[in-house]
Amino acid sequence: MTKTSHEAGLCVTINSDDPAYFGGYVNENYAAIQDALAFSDHDLLQMAKNSFRSAFLDPSEIEGYLAQLDEYDNGGSGATPINIV
């Protein structure tokens, strides 16, 4: 269902819920869904962007995180993990 939804253009995101209790930290969830459903790195990037676009953040914060993802995707000098405060 997730792959079909993503391919249909729906806003799919990858999340974790109380990872210390349930396991499944968000980075592990990204790896698991990529392995299980053969998502490309580009697909995962789109899902990460979807997560920020659907977050309850100020628009300027969202744009900042999206810019960091784009820079990471382009291998820029800021290609480091995103620092979420």
Q: Give per-residue pLDDT as tens, 22-37.
A: 777 888 899 999 999 9
Residue 21's pLDDT is what? 78
Question: Could you list the residue range(s) of the whole structural domain that residue 31 is in?
Answer: 2-73
- Please state the pTM of the whole predicted model: 0.81
Task: Compute the distance between CA of residue 52 and CA of residue 66 in angstroms, rounded to an integer.
Answer: 7
Per-residue pLDDT, averaged over 45-68, amounts to 95
Residue 56 forms part of a structural domain: yes
11, 53 in Cβ contact below 8 A?
A: yes
Please report whether residue 80 resides in a domain: no
In a domain, 21, yes or no: yes
Which of 51, 39, 45, 47 lies closest to 69, judged by CA? 45
Has residue 14 been placed in a domain? yes
Instruction: Tell which residue, 64, 57, 61, has the closest CA to residue 78.
Output: 64
Average pLDDT of the segment spanning 5-31: 87
Residue 78 lies in a domain: no
Number of structural domains the chain divides into: 1
Average pLDDT, the chain: 87
